[in-house]
Structure 1
Amino acid sequence: MSKLSHLLELIIMLQYKEFTTASELADILEVDKKTIYRYIDTLQMAKIPVESKKGRYGGFYIDKDFYMKYPKLEKEELESLLMASKILTKDNGFAYADKFQSAVIKIKDLSLNENSDFEELKELINFKINDTGNLETFDNKISKINYAMTKGRVLKISYYALNKNSITQIMVNPYTILFKQGGWYLVGYCNTQEEERILKISRIRNIEVTKEIFIKPKNFNLSDYLKKSWSVFRGEQSLIKVKFDKKIAEFVKENKWHTNQKIECLEDGSIILHMYLNDLGEVKKWILGFGAQAEVLEPISLREEVKSEIYELTKKYERNYDKVNKISNKG
């Protein structure tokens, strides 16, 4: 990523985060701390009011009077851009399709988050209304998260789960917020699921700051965690649940299929493999390779795809059965 891109991300993060450290910024931008200090110097030379606090618990913050708004597109401008993204594809011979799609996603996220009157556009591009967290403004959500991080308070969050297409209630210990790939994310420990998670802030519907206190663990390393979870910022992940019969359970347990996998053991000897993945195409082929010994439980969309594949396969075998028999008999 270019220096200019890093500087813009720094400005946006400092604008919304009340306080952040050089180490945290270095982890998010994947640079060393010396580079962060050089970036800060550059911003200060450009008259961006970045303030520093020295000492053991030092870091950076930006003057609250400073505010840089996202550029807003007109409704027709965004609509034309989205339509163009449907036309300019690899199938249609557009060589830069991947880069163009990436740019459109970033612009779309920013524009839809900032404009509450684009409801029909959201439906036009299958952008579910729940994705926008429309019950609470972005500024309110960021303000509550910042307060909870400062005071060490647990958050009660209503979150739109994309893989379940429903709203879930979760309790989260907020560690940090970060801006990446045109979107805002909350990193924290989900007490409900008992694991660290990255939540897309645009899919948070409501936030309540509770009176419950939490302490951020000293052994949590943001850099290491982001290295494992960076794919989150390239696309939405889906929770995959696959049930394996007891005949093959030991084989599945003995192998490492994915870095974030979890295995749930059932009383009858069967198991359920949990994984978060971006691309469902490859995992579908993998699941089908286990035949009747594997069953997709979630997401429903993947289950239906596997079911459809099996149905088409069955039809093919039934349709060609007589032909195969005739050939065999002639032989």
Structure 2
Amino acid sequence: MSKISHLIEVIITLQFKGLTTASELAESLGVDKKTIYRYISSLNEANIPIYTKKGRYGGFCIDEEFYMKPANLSCEELEALLMASEILTKENGFTKEKELKMAVTKIKNLEVNNNDKLKIINKNSHFGFEQTGNLENLDYKISKINYSISKGRSLSINYFSINRSNLTIKKIDPYDLIFRMGSWYLIGYCHMTGRIEILKVSRIQSLKTLNEIYIKPHDFFLKDYLDDLWAAFNGEKIKVSIRFCSHISDFIRNGRWHIDQNITDLEDGSVVLDMYLDDIRDVKSWILSFGKYAEVIEPKKLREEVKEELRELYIKY
């Protein structure tokens, strides 16, 4: 990622999170602390009002009067950008397809709080933005998350899952909040799945701080957790291929499982469903719901995870 992108992410992180340490910034951006100090120096040279608070509870903070606002594009401008990202592809001779899609994604995330605007676009065009039901604005959600993290309180979250296409109530112990590639992400322990998850803040419809106290594990390190997720943050989608046997091929063929999917018919009557996902964790449960009728072809990591879960089930039964 370019230095300019990192500098913007530092500014936005300080705007929303308030006092932030060099270690926290380094972990979220995937760089060392020396680089963070150089970034702060560069921003100060550009007259960005970032201050240093020394001491045990010190860190960096930005002047409350300084604020970077979204572009506030019109519906027509937003729709034109999305349409361009669909039309301008490598197949059509456009060599910067990946960069354009990443840029449009960042703009969409900055505009995501304007629900009325997104509804108009969804209603009037098949180039629809993801509608994730942001009933509470970004400032409020981040404020609530920061409060829960500082007080060690669990959160009840109404979350929209793209892969499952529904709203789920999750109880989360919030560990950290990071800004990456134009989006805010909440990282925490999910009591429903029994694992640490990363949730996109724009997909949180509503949230509530609970009275239940939690303690973040001493062996949790943000950098270690993020090491396996940089592909998603860098805009690289993961190809997931699943073979469905002939018994349910019609069901798969007639369904719309993902906005970015392709279905191939095989000679024996089975079909292969290809999907390009940002994150493969939610799709595992969906695949397992088909039992013996579904087989993961790729990626290898997902195939091994399904295999391990089936092994544990075999031992249990």
TM-score scaled by structure 2? 0.74
Q: Deviations over 1:154-174 (max 9, x none)?
A: 110000011211110101111
Q: Distance in 1 between matches of 2:304 and 2:37?
A: 34
**What secondary structure sits across from 1:176 in the alignment?**
strand
Q: Distance in 1 between matches of 2:105 and 2:186?
A: 19
Distance 1:231 1:267, change over 3 A: closer
Q: Deviations over 1:223-273 (max 9, x none)?
A: 11111122332253242244466xxxxxx9xxx7349936435898399xx
The two structures, once aligned, show a CA RMSD in angstroms of 2.7
The match for 2:127 is 125
Shift in Å at residue 26 of structure 1? 0.8
Alignment of 1:170-185 (within 5 A): 170-185=170-185
Q: Does 2:193 correspond to 1:187?
A: no
Shift in Å at residue 81 of structure 1? 1.5
Q: Distance in 1 between matches of 2:310 and 2:7?
A: 48
Q: Does 2:198 correspond to 1:198?
A: yes
Q: Distance in 2 between matches of 1:260 and 1:188?
A: 24
Q: Deviations over 1:96-129 (max 9, x none)?
A: 2222222222222222334532313135334342
Q: Does 2:194 correspond to 1:150?
A: no
The match for 1:161 is 161
Distance 1:48 1:180, change over 3 A: same
Q: Distance in 1 between matches of 2:105 and 2:129?
A: 11
Q: Does 2:301 correspond to 1:257?
A: yes
Q: Distance in 1 between matches of 2:312 and 2:221?
A: 36
Whether contact under 8 Å (1:158, 1:206) holds in the other structure is: yes
TM-score scaled by structure 1? 0.71
Alignment of 1:303-318 (within 5 A): none
Instruction: Point out the more displaced range, 181-190 or 261-270.
Output: 261-270
Alignment of 1:226-241 (within 5 A): 226-233=226-233, 234=235, 235=237, 236-238=278-280, 239-241=283-285
The match for 2:16 is 16
Distance 1:149 1:77, change over 3 A: same
Alignment of 1:278-317 (within 5 A): none
Distance 1:259 1:215, change over 3 A: farther
Q: Distance in 2 between matches of 1:94 and 1:38?
A: 35
Shift in Å at residue 72 of structure 1? 1.6
Q: Which amino acid aligns with 2:279?
A: Q
Q: Does 2:11 correspond to 1:3?
A: no
Shift in Å at residue 13 of structure 1? 0.6
**What secondary structure sits across from 1:209 in the alignment?**
strand
Q: Does 2:311 correspond to 1:269?
A: no
Q: Distance in 1 between matches of 2:159 and 2:302?
A: 25
Alignment of 1:90-101 (within 5 A): 90-101=90-101
Distance 1:81 1:213, change over 3 A: same
Whether contact under 8 Å (1:9, 1:179) holds in the other structure is: yes
For the pair shown, the structure with the greater C-alpha radius of gyration is 1
Alignment of 1:100-115 (within 5 A): 100-114=100-114
Q: Which amino acid aligns with 2:4?
A: L
Whether contact under 8 Å (1:116, 1:134) holds in the other structure is: no
**What secondary structure sits across from 2:164 in the alignment?**
coil
Q: Distance in 2 between matches of 1:118 and 1:190?
A: 29
Distance 1:121 1:222, change over 3 A: same
Q: Which amino acid aligns with 2:74?
A: E
**What secondary structure sits across from 2:7 in the alignment?**
helix
Q: Distance in 1 between matches of 2:151 and 2:47?
A: 31
**What secondary structure sits across from 1:66 in the alignment?**
coil
Structure with bigger helix share is: 1
Instruction: Point out the more displaced range, 83-92 or 233-242.
Output: 233-242
Q: Which amino acid aligns with 1:269?
A: Y
